[in-house]
A = this chain, B = another copy of it.
Amino acid sequence: MSVTYDYIRDPQEIYRQSFAQIQAAADLSALPADIADVAIRIIHACGMPEVLDELAWTNDAAAKGRAALKAGAPIIADCRMAMDGIIRNRLPADNAVLCPLTDERVPDLALEIGNTRSAAAVELWREHLEGAVVVIGNAPTALFHLLEILHDGAPKPSLILGFPVGFVGAAESKEALIEANIGVPYMTLRGRRGGSAIASAALNAVAKDNQ
């Protein structure tokens, strides 16, 4: 039996209606315009307008991240899914996208520092961290350890897109980011929600030049 469903098949129309629905469902009027652009992409990635209530940011986050990318800054991701969600042809300077999690040194480093492999990989971020755009979509321990090395004097990134997800440490690591007072622009979602799709959507929005 042949069945044809009634659904929208035109990608541009799908985008148009998606963003219209998001703007109808989420009151973005309190956000700076460039932060609202990122918020829309985050909501689009997860299908949940209600995450807007959990969004936290510094006003300079999108501008600083975009300027850094234009100047050629590398992007550092905590996991492969976040890395792979990044739309490469939207990056303004063919920016490097790094994810040292699978580096062969990571398992030994994790034992050495007594932390997860995600946190151990952050040790390998140091040499790329100056001015970089950091994208965390999975591991609370990566965000916690990043904050630790920043407090300890590691080079500062231009932007932290901090979206670890889950039950143990995610909410706490994001609160720590908000309260860290280290002079690094950030965007994050309070609470347990986050993930690679949200993190890479935020990066893609920051990378896109709307000006």
Contact = CB atoms under 8 A, between A and B. Distances in A.
Contacts of A119: 9
Number of identical monomers bound together in the oligomeric complex: 2
B193 A47 contact: yes
Interface stretch (A13-21, A29-37, A58-66, A126-134): A13-21
Contacts of A112: none
Interface residues of A, number: 53
A48 B192 contact: yes
B147 A3 contact: yes
Given A80-B84, A81-B197, 18 more contacts: A2-B151, A3-B152, A5-B144, A7-B140, A7-B144, A7-B172, A11-B116, A17-B167, A21-B168, A45-B165, A45-B195, A46-B193, A47-B165, A47-B166, A47-B193, A195-B197, A196-B197, A197-B197
